[in-house]
Amino acid sequence: MNAIPSVDLSDFLSDDKNRKQKFVNEIGKAYEEIGFVALKGHFLSDDLITSLYSEIKNFFELPENVKSDYEIEGIGGQRGYTSFGKEHAKGKKEGDLKEFWHFGQYVSDDAELSEVYPDNVMVSELPKFNEVGKITYQMLEKTAKYVLRALAIHLDLEETYFDNYIRNGNSILRPIHYPPIKTAPKNAERAAAHGDINLITLLMGAQGKGLQVQNHDGDWVDAIAQPDELMINVGDMLARHTNNRLKSTIHRVVNPPKELWGNSRYSIPFFMHPISEMKLDVLDSCIDENNPKGFDDITAGAFLHERLIDLGLIKK
Sequence spans of domains, the chain: 6-310
Which residues partner with 177 through β-bridges? 99, 266
Q: How many CB atoms lie within 10 A of CB 161?
A: 16
| pLDDT at residue 284, as a whole number | 94
pLDDT tens-digit readout, 257-306:
777 787 888 989 999 999 999 999 999 999 999 999 999 999 999 999 88
**Which stretch, 33-47, 190-204, 207-221, 251-265, has highest mean pLDDT?**
33-47
92 within 8 A of 192, measured Cβ to Cβ: yes
- What pLDDT shows up at residue 246? 96
CB 171 within 8 A of CB 270: yes
Where b means 16+ CB within 10 Å and e means fewer, 8-18 reads bbebbeeeeee
* Letter string b/e over residues 45-56, b meaning 16 or more CB atoms within 10 A of that residue's CB: eeeebebbbebb
- Given a cut of 90, is residue 310 above it in pLDDT? no
Q: What letter would DSSP give residue 264?
A: -
Residue 180 is predicted with a pLDDT of 83
The reported pLDDT for the residue numbered 108 is 81
Residue 237 — pLDDT band, cuts 50, 70, 90? very high
Q: Are 20 and 32 in contact (CB under 8 A)?
A: no
Mean of pLDDT values over 72-85: 86
pLDDT at 8 over 80: yes
Q: How confident is the model at residue 188 (pLDDT cuts 50, 70, 90)?
A: low
What is the per-residue pLDDT for 87?
64
- pLDDT, one tens digit per residue, over 25-68 is 999 999 999 899 999 999 999 999 999 999 999 999 999 999 99
Burial degree of 157 (CB within 10 A; 0-12, 13-18, 19+): middle
Query: What's the confidence (pLDDT) of residue 189?
Result: 67
What mean pLDDT is predicted for residues 203-210? 77
The predicted pLDDT at position 308 comes to 83
For 151-173, the pLDDT digits (tens) are 999 999 999 999 999 999 999 99
CATH of span 6-310: 2.60.120.330
pLDDT-above-70 percentage for the chain = 92
Can you give the pLDDT at residue 92?
A: 57
**Residue 223 binned pLDDT confidence (cut-offs 50, 70, 90):** confident
Average pLDDT (63-89) is 85
Q: What is the DSSP string of 65-106?
A: HHHHTTB-TTTTT-SEEE-TT----TT--SPPS-EEEEB---
Q: pLDDT for 106-135, tens place per residue?
A: 998 889 899 999 999 999 999 999 999 999
Is the pLDDT assigned to residue 183 strictly greater than 80?
no
* Partners of 102 in beta bridges: 80
309 pLDDT band, cuts 50/70/90, is confident
Q: Which residue has the higher pLDDT, 216 or 296?
A: 296
Using pLDDT thresholds of 50, 70 and 90, give the confidence band for residue 192.
confident
In the predicted structure, residue 2 carries a pLDDT above the cut 70: no
CA distances from 312 to 92, 196, 236, 303 (A): 10, 15, 18, 15
Which residue has better confidence, 152 or 187?
152
CB atoms within 10 A of CB 83: 16
pLDDT for 95: 64
pLDDT at residue 206, as a whole number:
65
The pTM (predicted TM-score) of the whole model is 0.90
